[in-house]
Chains A and B, each alone.
Chain A
């Protein structure tokens, strides 16, 4: 595979751009692989890339039932951050953020990672205290965090509602300067191209319909393109994990819920950071094309429909206008829904299963996009060494049974509240 560079652009320009090669091959599935990853989303592709790069396992296939970039990796709000309080989460997401910081170089693909900062607004004294606590916990884990007062926030984002009429006056906020956004499609394409160049077969339009299991050992998968043997199989199909795991006889601590996201018409530069509202669940950033990208809560009931309902859309938009009144006459351009694996404690599951050779990467709730490189990195380690890495040791499948739930919000086993 030829490297992308400014010289390549010039060379191709001189030859009329007639000999660009596809970014990855379109191979026929082989009869057997050392490792099969089910799900060609961001996490699956990242897992295949790190299996090849970090562990030298290159006889790998990624099976995708649709096309690369057609699932949740193309249905998110592209926010990257590591502002977590609990140690196991903080360690993992900070590792992921460090991978983001060098990802464009590592993949030779511009993922447009922009460290424009993530600002959580506080609207009460109690919330300022809570953010001081979270910020201190982050700094103890080596993560950047700055507590801003009202004047700091006003200098940083003057468009917010600082008037006397604000329903939820702004007291200050917690800023993670190294957080930001990335280009979601580029992440999928970049990992696909880099994994392919290391020998990974990316097989699209190949749906897994069953598992070949002998006793308690996995032997391969049945697919819409025939049976494919495998030494090990990793499942990375967040949103539909329960459905795929059921094919292997597993019942999981996961519910599927729909999360809506929105993009406005393109505007001139307005917001040069990521802002989250503190009096409700709302987050906003501006894409490089000018659209305001925003979202809020899940709809709150089990759903596999990739579309939400209007009451939640109205609520989310109301929060946005409350936070930033100048948005009130902005028109929506697009609006969609994606299916989330909501786990029982709001944290992901990356682990072995009771079936030898079958591994699980799931339960991402709202937080899957920012985790993409870190998730692939630790999942590849878990598959290659048959045990979790230190960074995902808190994400064990049996933690609920053992009483070690990793519940950042403290909401208990109620998936629609995380």
Chain B
């Protein structure tokens, strides 16, 4: 069971959140080339360890947040707003 720290609501049960996937990907500019878009839409690093990901607090404040979670242990290492740099939040 996850307890995710929402930057707006505090610690909340993981079932209140919906998963939004890999947050390390940067949406390309609309006129970016085909390979850049292909990489963004289809390819994933899929690391076995710390993973930055989006979650949405759907049963709470409905805000999106960014979570750094170790996908091997399910341990949550840091959370922040989507604009936060988790390296700074974690330290």
Residues of A participating in the B interface, judged by any CB pair closer than 8 Å: 240, 242-243, 251-256, 300-305, 309-311, 344, 400-401, 413-416
Contacts and interface: CB of A to CB of B under 8 A. Distances in A.
Contacts of B44: 242, 251-255, 415
A253 B42 contact: yes
B42 A344 contact: yes
Given A253-B44, A311-B14, A416-B21, A302 B38 contact: no
Interface residues on B, range: 20 to 34
B53 A301 contact: yes
Contacts of B46: 242-243, 252, 254-256, 302
A401 B43 CA distance: 10
B71 interface: yes
Nearest to A256: B46
18 contacts: A240-B48, A242-B48, A251-B43, A252-B44, A253-B43, A253-B44, A255-B46, A256-B48, A300-B19, A301-B69, A302-B51, A302-B53, A303-B71, A311-B1, A400-B38, A413-B41, A414-B21, A415-B44
Interface of B: 1-2, 14-15, 19, 21-22, 38-39, 41-46, 48, 51, 53, 69, 71-74
Contacts of B39: 251
B57 to A, nearest CB: 15
B71 A304 contact: yes
Question: Is chain B's interface secondary structure helix, strand, loop, or mixed overall?
Answer: mixed
Contacts, number: 65
Contacts of B42: 253, 344, 400-401, 413
CB-based closest 8 A-B pairs: A242-B46, A253-B42, A400-B42, A301-B19, A304-B48, A302-B71, A304-B72, A311-B15
Contacts of B19: 300-301, 416
A253 B41 CA distance: 9
A213 B72 CA distance: 29
A107 to B, nearest CB: 33
Contacts of B72: 304-305
A242 B46 CA distance: 6
A300 B53 CA distance: 12
Contacts of A302: 22, 46, 51, 53, 71
B2 A309 contact: yes
B1, B21, B39, B72 — which one has the most chain A CB atoms within 10 A of its CB? B21
A407 to B, nearest CB: 12
